Structure 1
Amino acid sequence: MSSSHHSLLRSSLIGGALAAMIIFIGTYLLGTVTNYEAIENLQEVRPTLRFTASGMMTSTATILALMLTLLSFSQQSERKLKAYHYNRIGWIARFAAGIFIAALVLLMVLNVPISNAEETFAGFYNIIYYVLLSYTALMGGCMITIILLLYQAARDIILIAHPNRKVVGLYAEEDEDPDLPTKRERERLVIEEEDEASGGTK
């Protein structure tokens, strides 16, 4: 993987990490909570966290299915794509699978009745509250990383499919030639070659 490709992956990871920090710090700045306040806050945020976890499970499952479609499209490309393109699909799939599992674990934890566990976790509710905040902030940051990687993949696929854009840096066999033909020009050359071949056989 080239340095430019490393920088693209690193920028996505940094974007996700910054988003996670902003989410957590923004919530933490609301102030510290006591155990009693933590219990009330947990009861209030549980429906929202359930909705968030369910939404993340749905979105990541959809992303995993779309990666199969993207992989099929990439294999049907006219020319061989660089390994980085497939590595990026792998990273998206890993992040999506990890977020799906993390969201499922969060959903199962939220199904535990708080009222039945008040004596067991007495004195630790403020810790549990901040652990949940950190957990959900990390999940949100990972989702943003996935979105940034998806944007990069979509941008490259649009360049490949665009009839009037020259594709540079995506194909495995190219030498960064600025005079590479566009997709429409390649299609026209293929048609001309087919016409010449059919004319020669007559």
Structure 2
Amino acid sequence: MGESHPHSRISVHQALGDGSVADLLLWRNRRGAVLLLGSATLFWFLFEKAGYNFLSFVANVQLLFVVILFLWAKSASLLNRPMPPLPSLEISEASALKVSDALQVWLNRALSVAHDIAVGRNVKSLFQVSFVLWMVSLLGYFFNFLTLLYLGAILSLSVPVLYERYQDNIDDKLSVTHRVLQTQYRKIDETLLQKIGSRVAAKEKKMQ
């Protein structure tokens, strides 16, 4: 195993964007991480185990919220007390631009992969996309969509922090695995090229 160079590589926090999302996923914002985990668990239990209907739940929560705000505002005007501290209920232009930029990056990446497969005939990309789609299909067979979302939240709050803690050991094992897969891929690629070459040569002999 080679020696690791922690100062020459990007940290997990930087890879996750170096912002509030990274703080949340790496449990540096413990209150937010606990709130996210608790909310995800509560929603999964309510809709998966308790059998609540999502639309009915959202409508009831909004109804309760509106009634509380109305009673609060009414009592505040009668008793000369402060009104409910509501934030500005609008999406800022900066937030909308951030979301659109993120979507543009993901869409361009997906279109680039599709171009490599359809036009560039990239066999490696085809195998990778096929494997990912097969895994998603397999998971969908065993778990419903809500459970998959809950598992995604659990993995998002566990995998990054575990990787940050054991990054050196994981990187070493991933490096070995990557070399083995590259070797196997080269063997498969060479075998396919040899078969294609032999077939082309056989056709040329028949045509002569």
TM-score (norm. length: structure 2): 0.24
TM-score, normalised with respect to structure 1: 0.25
Larger radius of gyration: 2
